[in-house]
Structure 1
Amino acid sequence: MSENNLEALRNKVVSLATESLQKDDATGWFETVYTDAKGDSSQVPWAKSTSHPYLQDWLEKYPPNTEGKTAIVIGCGLGDDAETLAKLGFKVTAFDISPTAISWCQQRFPDSEVNYLVGDLFNLDSSIQHSFDFVFECRTIQALPLKMRSDSIEAVSSLVGEKGTLIVITRYRDSETEPDGPPWPLSEGELSLFKQLGLQEVRRDIFIEESQPGIVQFRLQYQRF
């Protein structure tokens, strides 16, 4: 995809998100992105048709113990991260608020062992709270406005079981001032909420992509002890 087309797609997403927020619906625009794509993954700006490179890098550098372990992927999109974790041996649950995205996952991976679910991060079944050994959250929190930040971090943290691992991939901002968005990068103060919820930061990796030199990306590893 050309840079002009990519920029047009990004602008469309910002417009959809802004319109959704004006209707006091912070998450409704995700389904619109997937339905408008009409089966063309190049029209979903965050779809990579492979596992996220920062996740893949972490898995290679710090291979997790997967035997008998459970994992969950938050906002799983088209399923590539979930499939990667399943191939490593995790028993994987993956959910997305978009029914079209979940249907797309099931079409792409008809023989998958991943349990794909339509689910709302803020309305998950209480039976899965604190029950996963590995939780993967990639840019879901940053896609939600600041007024939902505390609730979204609490919802993500609640999935991490005893001695569980949480990997968070997000843009970062070095100020507590509210940023323009979407996305809305996370600040140090907001990241500190994870600690308040019983998770300890054990590793922080910083990435700056050549295509976006002014944007700082974090990969954070948290543990529940």
Structure 2
Amino acid sequence: MFEQQPDTIREKVRQLAAAALENSQPSGWFEILYQEAKGDPTQVPWVKLTPHPYFQDWLKSYPPQPEGKLGLILGCGLGDDAEALAAKGFQVTAFDISPTAIAWCRERFPESGVNYLVADLFNLPREWEQKFDFVLECRNIQSLPLSVRSQIITEIAKAVAPEGTLLVITRLRDREPEGDSPPWALSNIELAQFQELGFQEIGRDVFYNNEPNSVKEVRIEYLRIGT
């Protein structure tokens, strides 16, 4: 997220995120950014018009799914991860808090079987609780301040069905986060909350991107155990 972006876009994100925090709406800036992009994907820092490479790589070894398996993409952006998961045979629901982003998805993939919806990660529909066999959390948490991490992790955990898979792709930090704008990397202490909520970590891959200071990123596969 935000890798190698022009300084003008980074500064815009910083200003929008700061204003949203001042208004106690930590995710309120996403719709503004999508609106002001005016259909230009280069104005949205995380948009690459292709599935995230760490997710795409993981899917290569993931077997096709039988009909009826349900998948959920959190904060789906412009839909590339959702389409990749649907290609594996899942019935996919994908949501974003931005109505503009969801309209953009539907325009890009007019024949798609993905159910694109507007929803709020802070308040997921109750009917989604323990519903999905697979859930992807790809760099949403890191775009939100530390003060809401516990709440967001709890909401994400609720959506995963018993024996379901949760895949988390995020920056990882070893010390206190720096900077006054996203992304804010997660810590292992924060990630441990998933285990407290009934998940078992069954796989972890570590990556270093090409940014200055070699930012550490992780892809973690969790299994929801019990009921």
Q: TM-score scaled by structure 1?
A: 0.94
1:38 Cα deviation from its structure 2 partner:
0.2
2:114 is matched with 114
Q: Percent identity?
A: 52
Shifted more, 187-196 versus 202-211: the winner is 202-211
Give the length in aligned residue pairs.
221
- SS of equivalent to 2:165: strand
2:52 is matched with 52
Could you report, residue by residue, the CA deviation over 1:178-209 in whole angstroms, capped at 9, with x for unpaired residues? Answer: 54331111101101100000011111100101
- SS of equivalent to 1:201: strand
Task: Mark the CA change 1:212 to 1:65 in structure 2 (over 3 Å): closer, same or farther.
Answer: farther
Q: Partners in 1 of 2:178 and 2:131 — Cα distance?
A: 33
Q: Partners in 2 of 1:116 and 1:139 — Cα distance?
A: 19
- Gap regions ≥5 residues in structure 2: none
- The aligned runs of 1:102-141 (5 Å cut-off) are 102-141=102-141
Could you report, residue by residue, the CA deviation over 1:52-95 in whole angstroms, capped at 9, with x for unpaired residues? Answer: 000001111x3134112110000000000001111111100000
Q: Could you tell me whether the CA contact under 8 Å between 1:78 and 1:104 is conserved in 2?
A: yes
Q: Partners in 2 of 1:6 and 1:158 — Cα distance?
A: 37
Q: Could you tell me whether the CA contact under 8 Å between 1:146 and 1:178 is conserved in 2?
A: no
- SS of equivalent to 1:130: coil
1:217 is matched with 217
Return the letter of the residue paired with 2:161. G
Q: Could you tell me whether the CA contact under 8 Å between 2:157 and 2:194 is conserved in 1?
A: yes
Q: Could you tell me whether the CA contact under 8 Å between 2:86 and 2:92 is conserved in 1?
A: yes
2:65 is matched with 66
Return the letter of the residue paired with 1:63. Y
Task: Mark the CA change 1:126 to 1:5 in structure 2 (over 3 Å): closer, same or farther.
Answer: closer
- SS of equivalent to 1:94: strand
Q: Could you tell me whether the CA contact under 8 Å between 1:173 and 1:186 is conserved in 2?
A: yes
- SS of equivalent to 1:89: coil
Considering only aligned residues, what root-mean-square deviation do their CA atoms show, in Å?
1.5
- Structure 1 segments, 4+ long, off by >6 Å, are none
Q: Partners in 2 of 1:81 and 1:10 — Cα distance?
A: 23
Q: Could you tell me whether the CA contact under 8 Å between 1:167 and 1:220 is conserved in 2?
A: yes
Task: Mark the CA change 1:90 to 1:4 in structure 2 (over 3 Å): closer, same or farther.
Answer: closer
2:22 is matched with 22
Q: Partners in 2 of 1:120 and 1:202 — Cα distance?
A: 28
Shifted more, 147-156 versus 180-189: the winner is 180-189
1:214 Cα deviation from its structure 2 partner:
2.5
Return the letter of the residue paired with 2:110. P
- Tell me if 1:158 matches 2:158: yes
- Gap regions ≥5 residues in structure 1: none
